[in-house]
Amino acid sequence: MSSVKLVDSHEAVELMESGAIVADIRDPGSFANGHIKGAVALSNDNLQDFLDATEFDQPIIVCCYHGISSQSAAAFLIERGYESVYSLNGGFESWSLGMPDKVESA
């Protein structure tokens, strides 16, 4: 089994520029107040749709509040066969401090 790879904000930007999807697992209100540009809000409500629409070789960066819960969510995706799954180290809190130009509101 593959372990979850942690990436910092700068590494995440490089992955995004290469086509990685950002899956934000925070609550809908937090997502609406601000999220990484282009991120997809991922919850139990749309998980199956996300899994159905995402190719196994599509890189995925999972984002949460502080980078803790995203590791479990990334491990879940790896267990389902996704090949390139990353957890955003420091989560959205770190991202919003280091990359404020790459934050948008819904």
Q: Domain 5-101 belongs to what topology?
A: Oxidized Rhodanese; domain 1 (3.40.250)
pLDDT one-digit tens code per residue, 52-80: 999 999 999 999 999 999 999 999 999 99
- 1 pLDDT more than 60: no
The domain segmentation of the chain, as residue ranges, is 5-101
Q: Is 64 in the active site?
A: yes
Which among 10, 4, 15 is positioned nearest to 67, based on CA atoms?
Answer: 4
Say which residue the tokens 């957890």 belong to: 87
Active-site option among 22, 61, 64, 74: 64
Confirm whether pTM is higher than 0.85. Answer: yes
How far is the C-alpha of 15 from the C-alpha of 9, rounded, in Å? 10
At residue 105, the pLDDT reads: 80
Q: Find the mean pLDDT for residues 32-45.
A: 96
Residues with Cβ within 8 Å of 46's Cβ and at least 6 positions away in sequence, in order, are none
Helix %, strand %, coil % of the chain (to 5): 40, 20, 40
At residue 9, the pLDDT reads: 95
Q: Please give the mean pLDDT across all residues of the chain.
A: 95
- 106 pLDDT more than 90: no
